[in-house]
Amino acid sequence: MSHTPPPARLGFLYPGHAAEDDYPLMGSMIEPPAQITLIHTEFLEDAHTVEALSEMGSVSRLSKGAEALAGSGIESVMWTSTSASFVLGLDGIRQQIDTLEKLLGVPASTTAMAFARAVKAIDAKRVAIAATYPEEVAQRFRAFLNHFDIEVVHLASRGIITAAEVGLLEKDAVIEFALANVREEADALLMPDTALHSSAWLTDLEQAIGQPILTANQVSFWEALRLCGKLSPQSGLGSLFEHMPED
Q: What is the pLDDT of residue 6?
A: 85
Starting at the earlier edge strand, list the strands of the sheet with 213-215: 151-157, 126-131, 188-191, 213-215
Confidence band for 247, pLDDT divided at 50, 70 and 90:
low
Higher confidence at residue 206 or residue 47?
A: 206
Q: What is the mean pLDDT of residues 100-107?
A: 98
Range scoring the smallest mean pLDDT among 13-17, 139-143, 189-193, 243-247: 243-247
Provide CB contacts within 8 A for 59, sequence distance 6+.
95, 96, 99
Q: At what angle do helices 171-181 and 202-209 cross, to 10 degrees?
A: 30
- The single-letter code of the amino acid at 98 is D
Q: With 90 as the cut, is the pLDDT of residue 46 above it?
A: no
- In angstroms, the CA 115 to CA 144 distance is 10
Please check whether the two domains, 9-113+218-242 and 122-215, share a CATH topology: yes
Q: Which residue has the higher pLDDT, 3 or 103?
A: 103
* Distance of alpha carbon 172 from the chain centroid: 21
The answer regarding whether domain 9-113+218-242 maps to CATH 3.40.50.12500 reads: yes
Give domain limits for the chain: 9-113+218-242, 122-215
Whether residue 121 has pLDDT greater than 70 = yes
99-128 average pLDDT score: 97
Question: In three state form, how does the secondary structure of 1-68 look?
Answer: CCCCCCCCEEEEEEECCCCCCHHHHHHHHCCCCCEEEEEEECCCCCCCCHHHHHHHCCHHHHHHHHHH
Inform me whether the pLDDT recorded for 1 exceeds 90. Answer: no
Query: What pLDDT, on the 0 to 100 scale, is given for residue 2?
Result: 47
Which pLDDT belongs to residue 237? 97
On the question of pLDDT at 165 being above 70, the answer is: yes
Q: What is the mean pLDDT of residues 83-111?
A: 96
Residue 200 DSSP code: G
Tell me the average pLDDT across 115-136: 96
CB neighbours of residue 103 within 10 Å = 18
Tally of CB atoms within 10 A around 6:
10
Mean pLDDT of the chain: 94
As its CATH architecture, domain 122-215 has 3-Layer(aba) Sandwich (3.40)
State the Cα–Cα distance between residues 178 and 191, nearest whole angstrom: 8
